[in-house]
Structure 1
Amino acid sequence: MKKIPRRSALRNALRLALGALAAGTLFGATAPAALAQNKVADIANYSGADREKRLVDGARKEGPLMIYTSAPIDDMTTLTRAFEKKYGLKVKLWRAGSEKVLQRTVTETRAGRHDVDIIETNGPELEALQREKMLQPVKSPYLKDLIPEAMFPHGGWVSTRLNIFVMAYNTNRLKKEDLPKSYADFLDPKWKGKLGIEAEDADWFAGVVGEMGEEKGLKLFRDIVARNGISVRKGHTLLTNLVASGEIPLAMTVYNYKAEQLKQKKAPLEWFYIAPAIARPNGVGMARQSPNPHAAALFFDFMLGDGQKLLLERDFVPTSTKVETPLNKLPIKFVDPKVILDENQKWTNLYDEIFTKQSK
C-alpha cells in the first residue's frame, strides 16, 4: 500500500493561526468591526423569553446561513433541511475534513473575510479556533440539558455529539468468538495481515495509552505492529467501508455511528469495543464575526434542541440528557481537546512512528 504522508494538518493550521496573530491581523479590529462584534455578542447572549422569536425575525432579514462542517454531507443535510423547514430559512454548506475547516476559517479571518456563521467540526479544531478568539459564546437556553463533558468554562463552543471510537469487523471473515478481549490479544499471530487503523487518530491513541500507562501502552502497540502489521487508511468512512467489503477484516478505530449505519444497511459488519471506549467530542461554534448572527444563534440553539433527536436517528451519540440512548451507558473516556491540542506534536509523532511508518 502507498504510504500516507506523515504530517499534522491540525498543527499546520495552528501555525497559520499563530502567524496571523503575530501579524496582528486577528485582533487589530477597526471601530466598525468592533461594533459589529458587539452586535453579534448581544444577539448570541440575549436570554429573554422571546429569544426564539427575536432570532427568527432577525434571521429572515439576513442572508443564507453559512456552515463550515466536517460531518458527512448526508447527515448534515438532514439537519439543515429540518432547520430550513422549521424556520423558513436558507442554509449553505461547505464540507471538508476537520483540519481544512480549521484552516479555511483561519485563512479567511486573517484576510478580513467573514463568510462563515457556524463551524461544526471536531473538538480539537474548535478548541484551536477558540484560542484564537474566533468563536462567540452563545447563551443558549438548551445548555442546561447537556452532559457536563459537553461544555467548557470558556463557552466558545459546545459538544453536540460524540464520536465514539469502536472496532469493526467483517462477519464473513471473522467469528465473534475469536474477537479480542484486550489490546494484548492483538499480539496473537492470527491477527497478522488482518488489522487496519485510521491515519490520524492520535487522540484515540493518547486516550488508550493513557489508560494503560504510557510506557506499557507504547511498547504493546509497537509489538503488535511489529508482529502482525497494520494497514493505515485515511478517513473513517473509507476504513469502515473497507471492513464492510472484507478488504480489512478488523479496524481498530472507526466511528460507532458509521459502523451502525452500514450495519443497518445489511453490510456484513459488526462493531464492538474494548473498555473504556474513547469518545471525541464534536461540536458547534458560532463565528465571532458572523455576518448572519440571528440565523447563527438560532441554528446553535437548534443543534442543542431539535437537532439532538435527529442526530440520534442518524446513529450519532447526542450530548443532551433529554435524548435517551444506550450508548450513553457505555464505559467511556472522553478525549480532552485542550490536552490533544497542547500535546498534538508528541502524539502525532508517536502515532506516525508506530503506525504510519510501519504501514503494510
Structure 2
Amino acid sequence: MRRIIFLWGWVLFLSQLPFPAWGQDARLAKARDEKKVVVYNTTTVPDMQKLIEGFHKKYPFLEVESFRSSGERLLQKIFTEARAGRYFADAYIISGLQLWLLRDAGQVVPYLSPEREGVLKPFKDEAGYWAGVYFNLEVIGVNTRLTQPREMPKRWEDLLDPRWKGRMALENEEIPWFASLQQIMGEEKAMDFSRRLAKQQLQMRSGHTLISQLLAAGEVALTPTLRVNIAETLKMKGAPVEWAAIEPVAPNAPVSLGLAKNAPHPNSARLFIDFILSREGQTVVRELNRNPTRGDVEQPVPRATKVKLFEMNWDGVVKNYARYVKDFNDIFGVTSGEK
C-alpha cells in the first residue's frame, strides 16, 4: 500500500512539472549529439556574428555555421540543392517575401516555438512557418555636405528634380520598395514614376551597406532607401548623413526565420530559432540598431516610432513577385550578372 501511495505521489509531482521542460531536456540531449546548426542567411556579417555570439553563450556546445548571400542568390541555391535532393541548411534568416516563397514551394516546415508568444501579431503566421526577426524602415538618406536642408525631398516626385541626376544610388534588389510604391501610389502612377526615376541615371549597386558607405563618403548625394538603423549608426560615428521619411512608409516585410525542410540538425535548429525569438535574442537585435519584433523589447530609434506607416498587402506581392522582379529589372536595367 505504501508503495502504491509513494508511486502515486511521484506521478503527481511529475505532473506539476511544465511539460515543455521535459521536451527541452530531450531536445538539448539530441542537439548535443548534432553538434552544430547551419543557417543560410542574408544578414550582414557583423550582425550575424553578434547573434551567433549570443546563441553560443547560451549553448556553448553548438557550433553555428553561417552561409550568407543576397536574397535572390540564396533562393537559387536553396532551390538548386532541393532539386538535387541535397539538404544542408537547418534554418533560414531571409526577407519575409522570400521566406514566403520558400513556404509556398514546400522548403520550410512549421515550428511553433514557445518564444513566438512574445512576437507581435503582424510579424508571425498562425501555422508556424515563419516569424520575424527584425523589420527595416527605408527612408530618404542624404549626404549633408552635398545637400542643403531645404533640398531634402518631401515627395517622391522631388527625386525627379534635375539636381539629383547622376547623384543617386539604388539597391539592385529593391523589390519590396518597388512593390510598396505601387500600393501607395497606385500601379499606373508608380510605374510612370519609376520609369522617370530610372532616367535620373541612378547608380545600381548591390547591398544596402555598400550604398550607405558610398553615401557617407560623398560618392553619391542621395539614396531613396536608406535603412534607419544604418543611418543612425553612421550618424553616431560622425558621418555626414541625415534621413527623412516620405510618409506613409511601408516597412519592409520582416526579415524572418524558418525551419528548413529536411534539416540535418533539426533539434539544434529549433534551439537556434527559440533563442533568436526570445527576449534575450531580440535584445541583441535591438543592440544592433535593428527593429525587434517582440512587444517586450524597446525599439532602438525613438524618432522612427513616430513615422506614419502604411499597411502592405504582402500576400499580393508574393503572388506577383516574379512580375515585380521582371518589371524592376527592366525599368532600372538590372541584369542577372549584377545581383
Question: Which residue of 2 is the match for residue 205 of structure 1?
Answer: 178
Q: Which amino acid aligns with 1:233?
A: R
Give matches, 1:125-204, under 5 Å.
125-204=98-177
In structure 2, distance between residues paired with 1:320 and 1:196: 32
Do the aligned partners of 1:195 and 1:249 also contact (CA within 8 Å) in 2?
A: yes
For residue 51 of structure 1, report the CA deviation from its aligned partner: 4.2
Deviation of 1:90 after TM superposition, in Å, equals 1.5
In structure 1, C-alpha distance between the alignment counterparts of 2:243 and 2:221, rounded to whole Å = 12
2: CA distance, partners of 1:72 / 1:112: 28
**CA–CA distance in structure 1, aligned partners of residues 37 and 262 of structure 2:** 13
Q: Say yes or no: does 1:352 pair with 2:326.
A: no
Tell me if 1:115 matches 2:88: yes
SS at match of 2:296: coil
Helix, strand or coil at the partner of 1:276: coil
Q: Deviations over 1:199-230 (max 9, x none)?
A: 1212211112211122222223333444x432
The residue identity in structure 2 corresponding to 1:184 is E
Structure 1 residue 66, shift from structure 2 partner = 0.8
Aligned to 2:337: none
* Residue in structure 2 matched with residue 100 of structure 1 by the alignment: 73
Give, in whole Å, the separation in 2 of the partners of 1:142 and 1:80.
Answer: 18
> What is the CA-CA distance between 1:288 and the residue it aligns to?
2.4
Which residue type is aligned with residue 314 of structure 1?
Answer: L
For 1:267-282, list aligned pairs within 5 A: 267-280=239-252, 281-282=254-255
Q: Which amino acid aligns with 1:315?
A: N
- One of 285, 290, 293 as aligned partner of 1:319: 293
Instruction: Give me the TM-score of the superposition, normalised by structure 1.
Output: 0.80
SS of the equivalent of 1:315 reads coil
Q: Matches of 1:260 and 1:208 in 2, distance apart?
A: 24
User: Quick check: 1:123–1:337 contact (8 Å CA) kept in 2?
Assistant: no
3-state SS in 2 of match to 1:60: helix
The residue that corresponds to 1:79 in the other structure is 51
Pairing partner for 2:310 from 333, 338, 342: 333
Residues paired across the two proteins, number: 311
Q: TM-score, normalised by structure 2?
A: 0.85
Cα distance, 1:296–1:230 mapped onto 2, change above 3 Å: same
- 1:257 aligned partner: 229
CA distance in 2, matches of 1:105, 1:220: 34
Rg: which structure is higher?
2
Deviations 1:155-197 (A, max 9, x none): 2111111122222111111122320111122233322332221
- Distance, in Å, in 2 between the alignment partners of 1:343 and 1:220 is 20
Aligned residues of 2:71 and 2:98 also touching (Cα < 8 A): yes
The one-letter code matched in structure 1 to 2:317 is I
Alignment partner, residue 218 of structure 1: 191
Q: In structure 1, what is the Cα distance between the partners aligned to 2:318 and 2:285? A: 26
